[in-house]
């Protein structure tokens, strides 16, 4: 795979500093029931990296004193972590909103038969990738049969109240473009998704989140191989909107890898570009009770992926 971090200093990105922390995002490990071609962490059934129980304890201690109100769980398939349910229950006891970045097919895995009921019972918000509403494109990007399983999972979640208009159990879907282009308008695409999934399958969901492809990891490497990297970077750079700088997710999110190391965002985690406090990279355990407001953010040219056009974050468009 081509390393893309060395290519991220061509344009220069405006300096950013942290604001008050709102979201703690934990990558629980790389084990996954799927092995998607585009997976940015190369997750799969054979991966064994898992966040330790001690680090999970650090995360709960951090939540307990920081005033952070949202815990965002990702992986791999975060639900495969042996302490996933315990973490969810304890975070909810602290009154923290929990988001599960769920691949949907996990609901059909052996041993996960009661997962949907558990998530609903705990009031966990679900954010799930569905890169298109057609079977062909979903199966091409995420593996054969994934579309059918995803549709069955969405119907099960709907039956439990997920995605209903009352908003009690939010169910968000995530779209990202197939290639080196910016996502279309989020509101318009959401209307298309709602109409087509509703007409074809009777499925309802809360919001569609459109996310730009970052020129890093496997996607960035593929662009380099195809000779499209410079062109895509130029597109991101010329589409930059300064008004998006205030809302980029790193300003209010802290990202933690499975080993407990801190990053300003998930993308920097994938690039191996850690958050530094007083010039040193840090572990979550070191910063319990410490306010990170004003700390400089590690920015590079990939950051234009967050500020191009309507803007992009783990919570969709910024505009
Ligand atoms: S479901 Fe997500 S974490 Fe799992 S292999 Fe696919 S992209 Fe990676
Ligand atoms: S890539 Fe990360 S650090 Fe850069 S602007 Fe986006 S969220 Fe912030």
Q: Does residue 38 surpass a pLDDT of 80?
A: no
Report the separation in Å between the CA atom of 143 and the middle of ligand 1, taken as the mean of its atom positions: 10
Structure confidence at residue 140 as a pLDDT band (50, 70, 90)? confident
The predicted pLDDT at position 206 comes to 98
Q: Which residue has the tokens 């997750």?
A: 43
pLDDT in the model for residue 41: 83
Query: Which of 33, 37, 41, when mutated, tests ligand 1's pocket best, judged by the most ligand atoms within 8 Å of its CB?
Result: 41
Ligand with an atom nearest the CA of residue 129: 1
Q: Which ligand is nearest to the CA of 146?
A: 1
- Tokens 């990558």 appear where? 27
Distance 61 CA to ligand 2 centre (A): 26
- CA dist 267 and 265 (Å) reads 5
Lowest-confidence segment of 34-48, 169-183, 295-309 by average pLDDT: 34-48
* CB of 248 shorter than 6 A to ligand 2: yes
For the CA of 306, the nearest atom of ligand 2: 6
Lowest mean pLDDT among 124-128, 141-145, 275-279: 141-145
Give the C-alpha separation, 78 to 90, whole Å.
Answer: 16
Is residue 250 lining ligand 2, measured as CB closer than 6 Å? yes
Average pLDDT, the chain: 94
Instruction: Give the helix/strand (H/E) hosting 188.
Output: helix 186-201
Q: Are 317 and 311 in contact (CB under 8 A)?
A: yes
- The pLDDT score that the predictor gives to residue 242 is 97
Give the tokens for residue 42: 């190369």
Q: What is the mean pLDDT of residues 25-31?
A: 97
Q: What is the pLDDT of residues 144-184, one digit of tens each?
A: 888 999 999 999 999 999 999 999 999 999 999 988 999 99
Ligand that lies nearest to the alpha carbon of residue 215, given by its number in the listed order: 2
Cα torsion angle, 53, 55, 57, 63, sign: negative
* pLDDT for position 36: 79
Backbone Cα Rg of the chain: 19
Question: In angstroms, what CA-CA distances link 127 with 61, 154, 174, 207, 259?
Answer: 25, 11, 7, 9, 23
Return the ligand number nearest the Cα of 275.
Answer: 2
Nearest CA-CA partner of 131 in 121, 123, 139: 139
Under 8 Å between Cβ of 245 and 307: yes
Residue nearest to atom 1 of ligand 2 (CA): 303
Please tell me the distance from the alpha carbon of residue 50 to that of residue 263, in angstroms, as a whole number.
Answer: 17
pTM of the model: 0.96
Contacts (Cβ under 8 Å, ≥6 apart) of 314:
25, 72, 127, 209, 211, 249, 253, 266
Residue 112: partners with Cβ closer than 8 Å, 6 or more residues away: 79, 106
Residue 68, pLDDT score: 96
CB of 255 closer than 6 angstroms to any ligand 2 atom? no
Tell me, in angstroms, the distance from the centre of ligand 2 to residue 267's CA: 7
User: pLDDT by residue (tens digit) across 49-107?
Assistant: 999 999 999 999 999 999 999 999 999 999 999 999 999 999 999 999 999 999 999 99
Q: Which atom of ligand 1 is nearest to the CA of 35?
A: 5
Distance of alpha carbon 188 from alpha carbon 196, whole angstroms? 13
Which residue's CA is the closest to the ligand 1 atom numbered 6?
Answer: 36
Ligand 1: which residue has its CA nearest to atom 7?
39
Ramachandran bin of 65, using left for φ above 0, alpha for ψ from -120 to 50, beta for the remaining angles: alpha
Over 80: is that where the pLDDT of 319 sits?
Answer: no
- pLDDT tens digit string along 210-256? 999 999 888 898 899 999 999 999 999 999 999 999 999 999 999 99
Regarding the beta carbon of 264 and ligand 2, being less than 6 Å apart is answered yes
Supply the pLDDT for residue 160. Answer: 98
Residue owning the nearest CA to atom 7 of ligand 2: 250
SS3 state at 240: strand
- Is residue 105 within 6 Å of ligand 2 at its C-beta? no
Output 231-235 pairs: Cβ under 8 A, ≥24 positions apart: 231/180, 232/180, 233/7, 233/10, 233/11, 233/301, 233/304, 235/180, 235/181, 235/182, 235/308
């Amino acid at each position: 795979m081509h390393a893309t971090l060395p290519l991220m200093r061509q344009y220069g990105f405006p300096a950013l500093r942290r604001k008050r922390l709102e979201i703690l995002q934990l990558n629980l490990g790389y084990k996954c029931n799927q092995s998607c071609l585009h997976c940015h962490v190369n997750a799969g059934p054979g991966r064994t990296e898992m966040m330790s129980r001690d680090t999970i304890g650090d995360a709960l201690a951090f939540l307990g004193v920081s005033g952070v109100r949202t815990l965002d769980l990702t992986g791999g398939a975060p639900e495969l972590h042996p302490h996933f349910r315990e973490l969810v229950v304890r975070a909810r006891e602290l009154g923290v909103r929990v988001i599960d970045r769920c691949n949907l097919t996990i609901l059909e895995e052996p041993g996960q038969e009661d997962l949907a009921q558990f998530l609903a019972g705990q009031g966990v918000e679900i954010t799930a990738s569905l890169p298109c509403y057609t079977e062909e494109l979903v199966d091409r990007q995420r593996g054969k049969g994934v579309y059918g399983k995803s549709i069955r999972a969405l119907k099960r979640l709907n039956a439990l109240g997920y995605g209903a208009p009352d908003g009690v159990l939010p169910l968000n879907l995530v779209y990202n473009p197939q290639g080196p282009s910016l996502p279309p308008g989020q509101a318009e695409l959401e209307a298309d998704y709602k109409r087509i999934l509703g007409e074809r399958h009777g499925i309802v969901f809360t919001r569609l989140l459109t996310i730009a492809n970052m020129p890093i990891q496997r996607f960035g490497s593929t662009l380099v191989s195809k000779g499209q990297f410079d062109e895509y970077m130029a597109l991101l750079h010329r589409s930059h909107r300064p008004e998006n700088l205030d809302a980029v997710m790193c300003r209010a999110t802290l990202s933690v890898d499975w080993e407990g190391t801190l990053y300003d965002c998930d993308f920097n985690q994938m690039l191996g570009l850690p958050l530094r406090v007083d010039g040193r990279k840090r572990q979550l355990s070191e910063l319990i009770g410490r306010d990170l407001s004003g700390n400089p953010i590690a920015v590079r040219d990939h950051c234009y992926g967050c500020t191009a056009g309507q803007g992009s974050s783990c919570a969709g468009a910024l505009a």
